[in-house]
Amino acid sequence: MNRKLFFKKRLALILTVAIAILIGSSFCAFADEVAFELPDSLQVTYLKYYIGKFKDKERLIFELKVKNLSSEDHRYRMRISLKDGTSAGMLVPRKGKPPVIKAGKEEKIKLPFIEYGQQPEGITITFIQF
């Protein structure tokens, strides 16, 4: 892995942890629990996960903000995998004409795990650009 890519990924992780601490949620992600697999064109600027109500049941809910760092518009496939093998995913952005994150813009994502209502131990967040 080249140094520039390594630096970008570590910086994104540090910023995510700093934002989570500033917000003060007891369920926010910490560096040893979350692994990121990101393309060079994407940066996670916000991450929060918590147990909350979704369709009248307690669910694990993820909230993220991602920023397109490239000079071109892109769409991504996101997958969140938990240590126990449970995973969920979606296209980012879900809608639009065309459905892309514009160059330099940020997109907010909210993803509930439908059949999962407990605090996870390990998390891997993967984005694939297409």
Q: What is the pLDDT along the chain (130 residues), one digit of tens a residue?
A: 566 666 677 767 676 666 655 544 444 444 458 899 999 999 999 999 988 888 888 889 999 999 999 999 999 999 999 988 888 999 999 988 899 999 999 999 999 987 777 788 889 999 999 8
What domains appear along the chain, each with residue ranges and CATH number? Answer: 3-129 (2.60.40)
Can you give the pTM of this predicted structure? 0.71
pLDDT at 114: 78
- How far, in Å, CA of 88 to CA of 125, rounded? 10
Provide DSSP, the chain. --HHHHHHHHHHHHHHHHHHHHHT-TT---TTTEEEE--TTEEEEEEEEEEEEETTEEEEEEEEEEEE-SSS-B-EEEEEEETTS-EEEEEESSS-SS--BPTT-EEEEEEEETT--S--S-EEEEEEE-
**Amino acid, single-letter form, for residue 52:** G
**Distance between CA 130 and CA 124 in Å, rounded?**
20
